[in-house]
Amino acid sequence: MILNGLGGQTLTRQHALNSAALMNAAQPEYLATLVVSFPKGEARLRTNFPGWEPLSVVGLMQEMELFLSALDLKRTVFRSDHASNWLVLRGTLGADKPRLLHELRAAIVAPEAAPLRPAWARGL
């Protein structure tokens, strides 16, 4: 399980690349992502990380694109379909990686045309 957006704006690149390196080393059978959320508020996080700023929806997709691009997984079932995810992605890495990256890149370029989950349906 990877928490997309956990690094915030400042550490987004580091978070994506380090998460991918960890998954590449582990070669998991199953990999899923959630979007970091704070149903009880961000105060606890901000106590220890006062400069943390959340990513925008496009920023979250850009982080996911960097993460997926850096993955070198052979036969990992990938799911990014939890209610917290704005864009639903499902596939098997490495077979479906080009398709997943294509879907992400299209959503980054034209988020208004992408099949994004409405905020009310995210259940958070």
Task: Give residue-wise pLDDT tens across range 31-81.
Answer: 999 999 888 788 888 888 888 899 999 999 999 999 999 999 999 999 999
- pLDDT tens, position by position, 83-105: 999 999 999 998 999 999 999 99
Edge-to-edge strand ranges of the sheet holding 76-80: 2-4, 30-35, 76-80, 89-93
